[in-house]
């Protein structure tokens, strides 16, 4: 098996979790998300490397590096979900299993949020479960990596 490490990627504006639109995204912070995800992965014997950036290139570089250091990627691309072909292409290029997470239900929001460029390269989709969705996505992704579930 490849490295027992996951890359946790959070895109633009997710550094403002707990502050930005708490009625939509909740009061938990990015640090809370990272702690929850790390704890969920650790229960299954996986470590987590977390990255958040408001700069697309930083996220692309982290995804490229994960190709040789990680077994899978949990990603909330934020607004890049709906705009970034290059982010989608980076995820496809590294050929790792991907779990796409969205805190809010993007399908119940503005029309422009209904399309995800990441959707077709992600094996797991957890949408609208709040920050707890990261924990579920992590477990489902590890199931795929361990061969317990289909991708």
The predicted pLDDT at position 3 comes to 72
Q: Report if pTM > 0.85.
A: yes
The predicted pLDDT at position 112 comes to 67
Tell me whether residue 102 is one of the annotated catalytic residues. Answer: yes
Residue 86 has pLDDT above 80, yes or no: yes
The predicted pLDDT at position 149 comes to 66
**89 in a known ligand binding site:** yes
**103 in a known ligand binding site:** yes
**113 in a known ligand binding site:** yes
3-class secondary structure per residue, the chain: CCCCEEEEEECCCHHHCCCCCHHHHCCCCHHHHHHHHHHHHHCCCCEEEEEECCCHHHHHHHHHHHHHHCCEEEEECHHHHHCCHHHHHHHHHHCCCEEEEECCCHHHCCHHHHCCCCHHHCCEEEECCCCHHHHHHHHHHHHHHCCCCCC
Q: Picking from 44-48, 108-112, 116-120, 142-146, which range would have the lowest pLDDT averaged per residue?
A: 108-112
Q: What span, in angstroms and rounded, lies between the C-alpha atoms of 81 and 102? A: 9
Residue 88 has pLDDT above 70, yes or no: yes
Residue 104 has pLDDT above 90, yes or no: no
Residue 69 has pLDDT above 50, yes or no: yes
The predicted pLDDT at position 1 comes to 44
**82 in a known ligand binding site:** yes
**4 in a known ligand binding site:** no
The predicted pLDDT at position 24 comes to 73
Tell me whether residue 134 is one of the annotated catalytic residues. Answer: no
The residue annotated as part of the active site, out of 102, 107, 115, 134, is: 102
Q: What is the percentage of the chain residues whose pLDDT exceeds 70?
A: 93
Q: Which CATH superfamily is domain 5-145 in?
A: Dehydroquinase, class II (3.40.50.9100)
The predicted pLDDT at position 48 comes to 98
Higher pLDDT, 113 or 5: 5
Mean pLDDT for 87-91 is 98
Residue 133 has pLDDT above 70, yes or no: yes
């Amino acid at each position: 098996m490849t490295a027992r490490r996951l890359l946790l990627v959070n895109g633009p504006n997710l550094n403002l979790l707990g502050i930005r639109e708490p009625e939509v995204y909740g009061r938990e912070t990015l640090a809370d998300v990272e702690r929850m995800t790390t704890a969920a992965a650790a229960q299954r014997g996986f470590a987590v490397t977390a990255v958040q950036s408001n700069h697309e290139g930083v996220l692309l570089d982290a995804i490229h590096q994960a190709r040789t250091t990680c077994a899978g990627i949990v990603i909330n691309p934020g607004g890049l979900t709906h705009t970034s072909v290059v982010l989608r292409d980076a995820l496809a290029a590294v050929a790792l299993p991907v779990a796409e997470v969205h805190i809010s239900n993007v399908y119940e929001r503005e029309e422009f949020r209904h399309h995800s460029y990441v959707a077709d390269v992600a094996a797991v989709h957890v949408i609208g479960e709040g920050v707890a969705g990261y924990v579920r996505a992590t477990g489902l992704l590890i199931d795929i990596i361990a061969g317990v579930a289909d991708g």
